[in-house]
Amino acid sequence: MKLDKIAKRFRIDKPDKFKLSDHDPTECCGLSIDKEDARKLLKESIEKLSELQEKLYAHNRWSVLLVFQAMDAAGKDGAIKHVMSGVNPQGVQVHSFKAPSEEELDHDFLWRIAKALPERGRIGIFNRSHYEEVLTVRIHQEYLAKQRLPAAVTGKQIWQHRFDDIRAFERHLARNGTLVLKFFLNLSLDEQRKRFLERIDQPGKRWKFSMGDVSERKLWPDYMAAYQEAIRETSRDEAPWFVIPADNKWFTRLAVAGAVVAAMERLDLAYPTVEGAALAELQEAKKALLAE
């Protein structure tokens, strides 16, 4: 199965029928390959992505925004690192959104997101994003209290209002030349446990672990319900969600790379043509250089 077909399989095109429980975190689309074969397939996609990024920059009309959301240890950092390993770092911007600062809390929840959007010709990557406002903040509503919102706007409808705002925001981006692709790395509870144990056992990875990771596991059903509703409410043609199986890291990276390459290919990117007076000027420059 080609990578673009694999990616299409995990795109949520019928969000009203989406059930997270229908998506298997261990799925590999029937692929059974060793690590060396996986590296070769990923390398091919990375090379294509590198070419597309160069055209994206030269074309200077589109920008690309990749949003990554997942539970801890799902492999967001690894996916970003491997999929983007072959692109020019000058054309990629990565933002990791953590707890908002005091300045950010004094603005609406999309303010800090809008500030970090990629310019035309560039790829922007959000490692966590505005979706934390309808995920973590929804699970831990003490975070909502810190946002100092007036009581009139913090009633039961706040989450639906935020879904409305997110859809409108992403539609606005799409209408202004930003390709928006969103990835939920779908990790199983059992695989997360295994990865946490690996972190504890490996000195070089212990710094990634905190006791808060264990307490968050107890809220797993709440998080899955929140993710399901967020994807249902915000997966649209102009900003689709991809629910990528994350229990096998090699497959996660292949599927993400396939989705990005396939979407960017549809942009019909091209290098600017040089003709007329500009071309004549280039020919004169060539003559001068050859005459030296």
% of the chain surpassing 90 pLDDT: 77
From CA 187, how far away is CA 192, in angstroms rounded? 7
pLDDT tens digits, one per residue of 10-59: 999 999 999 999 999 999 988 877 667 778 888 999 999 999 999 999 99
Alpha-helical runs (H) found in 60-188? 76-83, 102-105, 111-115, 136-139, 141-145, 158-175
> Structure pTM?
0.93
CB 56, CB 268: distance < 8 Å:
no
So where are the chain's domains? 3-291
Q: Which residues pair with 96 in a beta bridge?
A: 127
Q: Which fold does the domain 3-291 belong to in CATH?
A: Rossmann fold (3.40.50)
Q: Which pLDDT score, from 0 to 100, does residue 1 have? A: 57
For residue 277, the SS3 value is helix
Q: What is the DSSP letter of 100?
A: P
Question: For residue 182, what is the enclosing H or E element?
Answer: strand 178-186
Over 90: is that where the pLDDT of 197 sits?
yes
Over 70: is that where the pLDDT of 146 sits?
yes
The average pLDDT across 96-121 equals 95
